[in-house]
Amino acid sequence: MKKLLISIFAMLVFVSAAAAKSSVASDFSSVLKESGVDTESIAISIKSSVTGKVVYSLNDKILISPASVQKALTTPVIAETLGEDYQFSTELYSRGNDEYILKLGADPYLTTKELKQLIAQMDADVKKLYFDDSILDSKNWGEGWQWDDDMNVLMPRFGSYNLDRNLIKLTIMPPADGQFATILNPSKYPLVFFNNITKGEKTKLNIHRDSAISENTIVLSGTVARPTTVYIPVTNLKRNFELQTKNALEAKNIYLRTAFTIDRVKDSDKIKASITRGSETAINDILKNSNNMVSETMFKLAGAKYCDLETGTDSAGVKMFNDYCVRNKIDNTRIRIVDGSGVSKNNLVSTNFVTDFLLVNKNNKIMENLPTAGEGTLTQRLLPLKDNLRAKTGTHCDVSSLAGYLTAKSGHKFVFCIINNDMKLSTSDKKMLEDYIIREAYLRL
């Protein structure tokens, strides 16, 4: 990082001295050359949002993984398809004969507390409870997602059985001297712990899953100085949902003699209660906070609506997206989209495609949910450009990306996309370079 900081200082001097003689394009080329970035591993596209004219480009036709910048592409399509009035809805129906059916809505914000509110509407003599989980398919992870990210709380599994963000909350209590820490798991989700956590002056934990033993074997080591909360992604969403439902029933002294059964809601079933919420928060959460689980859930839900299917799938979401591009004359013949969030390494786009897409959506109100400097994933970035910038960040493996809308100091408006896959630069260095390019664009364009 020190080397990059020195390079950026040198760039400031170099570009300032050359500004009077150089074109904007040569200025940016000089910036990249002096930074030491591998120019074959970075792609840039900057265009006027008024004329669509290319202001600067570098490798803008090469295909590269966009990371979460992809959410700036899929979210407007999701929002258009679902509509402003779309609501997540988890519904309880009575079936007669002391039977009930819980129709799942894949609500990514559903909580155990809300589930208990639904269960509270059931009669005490209930004998059977069905689940209608038909809203989404049973594929809980996307194509091309990396198996070694399965402990990443930003990439939990998702599906019809979404509950409590699909994370298990653990509290780790400091041990007495010479003993091991206490691990509290109020969810009762069956986890087996190999606990090697001891007391220390600082909290420094290492947590991983030992899948060689079982998917629910968690190995914890390190030190803890005070009560600490950690989260573990759920590996079996259906099992967790059933367990929390069972706990809610037993809290009402209801003990079912038969296991939960899968069935569809019938016309003769009568709705008893529901938990609903609008989609505005979800759209904002995707673009400002880059919520992967919400993005993936809504991508499938929108795909189902677009393709007139009962069950949402990745392929339906992909068709929805590709058809949107064709309708809006955005050339998508070379790019590949396989999920909604950009998590998959199989997604491939060009920065030229991204800026073309942003041009089409420059007046789309959904894009107002993109964070400006000081908000969401830009909380600590580009603060002097607040209200002159709305952009989506991306970080995944060796990829760092930034794309959005910029109003320059001159008042001119631009769309831009930067995707950096230079493996020798750290993530922080890549983001520092992105910020520098956008600051220079703000000052010079």
How confident is the model over 310-361, as pLDDT tens digits? 999 999 999 999 999 999 999 999 999 999 999 999 999 999 999 999 999 9
The answer on 109 and 70 residing in a single domain is no
pLDDT per residue over 231-269, tens digit each?
999 999 999 999 999 999 999 899 988 889 999 999 999
- Could you tell me if 123 and 98 are in contact, meaning their C-beta atoms sit under 8 angstroms apart? yes
| Most confident option among 96-100, 172-176, 368-372, 439-443 | 368-372
Both tokens assigned to 401: 């990306």
pLDDT per residue over 371-398, tens digit each?
999 999 999 999 999 999 999 999 988 8
Residue 293 falls within a domain, yes or no?
Answer: no
Residue 127 CA to residue 243 CA, distance in Å, equals 17
User: Would the pLDDT of 14 be above 50?
Assistant: no
Cα Rg of the chain (Å, integer) = 25
pLDDT per residue over 65-107, tens digit each?
999 999 999 999 999 999 999 999 999 999 988 899 999 999 9
User: Would the pLDDT of 44 be above 70?
Assistant: yes
3-class state of residue 217 by DSSP:
strand
Residue 118 falls within a domain, yes or no?
Answer: yes
Number of domains in the chain: 2
- For residue 32, the model assigns a pLDDT of 81
Residue 311 falls within a domain, yes or no?
Answer: no
Helix runs in 307-386, H state only: 314-327, 351-360
pTM of the predicted model as reported, rounded to 2 decimal places: 0.91
User: Would the pLDDT of 35 be above 80?
Assistant: no
* pLDDT confidence bin for 442, thresholds 50/70/90: very high
- 361 φ/ψ sector (left φ>0, alpha ψ -120 to 50, else beta): alpha
User: Would the pLDDT of 117 be above 50?
Assistant: yes
The answer on 242 and 145 residing in a single domain is yes
User: Would the pLDDT of 187 be above 50?
Assistant: yes
Residue 300 falls within a domain, yes or no?
Answer: no
The answer on 108 and 14 residing in a single domain is no
Strand partners, 260: none
Mean pLDDT of the chain: 91
Residue 238, CA distances (Å) to 61, 160, 266 in order: 43, 8, 22
Return the CATH number at 374. 3.40.710.10
Residue 1, CA distances (Å) to 233, 397, 431 in order: 33, 18, 11
pLDDT per residue over 191-208, tens digit each?
999 999 998 889 999 999
> Looking at residue 414, what DSSP letter applies?
E
Residue 75 CA to residue 98 CA, distance in Å, equals 42
- For residue 331, the model assigns a pLDDT of 96
Structural domain including 101 reads 87-278
- For residue 4, the model assigns a pLDDT of 52
* Dihedral sign (CA 371, 306, 144, 45): negative
The answer on 105 and 43 residing in a single domain is no
Both tokens assigned to 147: 């198996």
Q: Any idea how long the chain is? A: 445
- For residue 2, the model assigns a pLDDT of 46
Q: 10 Å Cβ neighbour count for 268?
A: 8
Residue 59 falls within a domain, yes or no?
Answer: yes
Residue 12 CA to residue 245 CA, distance in Å, equals 60
- Could you tell me if 435 and 31 are in contact, meaning their C-beta atoms sit under 8 angstroms apart? no
- For residue 258, the model assigns a pLDDT of 87
Domain boundary, last residue among 263, 278, 293: 278
The answer on 136 and 70 residing in a single domain is no
